[in-house]
Amino acid sequence: DAGVIQSPRHEVTEMGQEVTLRCKPISGHDYLFWYRQTMMRGLELLIYFNNNVPIDDSGMPEDRFSAKMPNASFSTLKIQPSEPRDSAVYFCASSPILDGGSYEQYFGPGTRLTVT
Amino acid sequence: ELKVEQNPLFLSMQEGKNYTIYCNYSTTSDRLYWYRQDPGKSLESLFVLLSNGAVKQEGRLMASLDTKARLSTLHITAAVHDLSATYFCAVDVGGSQGNLIFGKGTKLSVKP
């Protein structure tokens, strides 16, 4: 399996522009997670989906952020308009449901976003 | 609200020494995960601990889980430079919710 795939790997954009991050989870995984990581705040869960349905979006910082999962193999995280404080590494992760209820998450390589 | 605390947050140790990283959590859970992150890289799963008393070992790292004490430890034996990384523990929220709560991470630096 190719693992979780994210694109782009690096994104540099100007303040006010729209940014779309993409994620392809591991086939067969039921859960998909979006995280943000910064030096100051560490690893933050933004939103997660179960079977394409958003379960908890309480970590989404504000209305400028939105996430969709139109099918089991694709998800997007959109920031509109972007601001310099959105600069971070954004990780997508997916997990299966294993016997015994284990939810081990597999992380993608991340997208490093820089907003100038 | 489930809280996960790791300590220490920073650890500088010499090669050949032993040390333990601690992960405490605030509510009942019997599933805990350890991840490793190298600088500029993604998180890689190290251990999955699924029951009280679970112990897993891989090379110089050994992880254990005590659900009654709400404590997991990651023990490093005879550290080598290649173990330098940030180590995160993550606790299962429980039920069918499927999400994990991560600690802040322990940044380990192993010096010759």
3-state secondary structure of A100: coil
pLDDT band for position A6 (cuts 50, 70, 90): very high
What is the spatial distance between Cα B68 and Cα B99, in angstroms, rounded to a whole number?
21
Tell me how many degrees the CA angle B84-B38-A47 measures, rounded to the nearest 5: 135
pLDDT surpasses 70 at A1: no
Which residues of B fall within a CB distance of 8 Å from A100?
Answer: 50
Residue among A10, A60, A104 with most chain B CBs within 10 A, to mutate? A104
A73: distance to nearest CA of chain B, Å?
18
SS3 state of residue B83: helix
Q: Is A25 on the interface with B (CB under 8 A)?
A: no
How much of chain A, in percent, has pLDDT values that exceed 70? 97
Q: Which residue of A has its CA nearest to B38?
A: A109
Given a cut of 80, is residue B98 above it in pLDDT?
no
Q: With cut-offs at 50, 70 and 90, classify the pLDDT of residue A112.
A: very high
Output A100 or B100, whichever has higher pLDDT.
Answer: B100
**pLDDT tens per residue, range A7-46:** 999 999 999 999 999 999 999 998 999 999 999 888 999 9
Instruction: Choose among B94, B50, B35: nearest CA to A35.
Output: B35
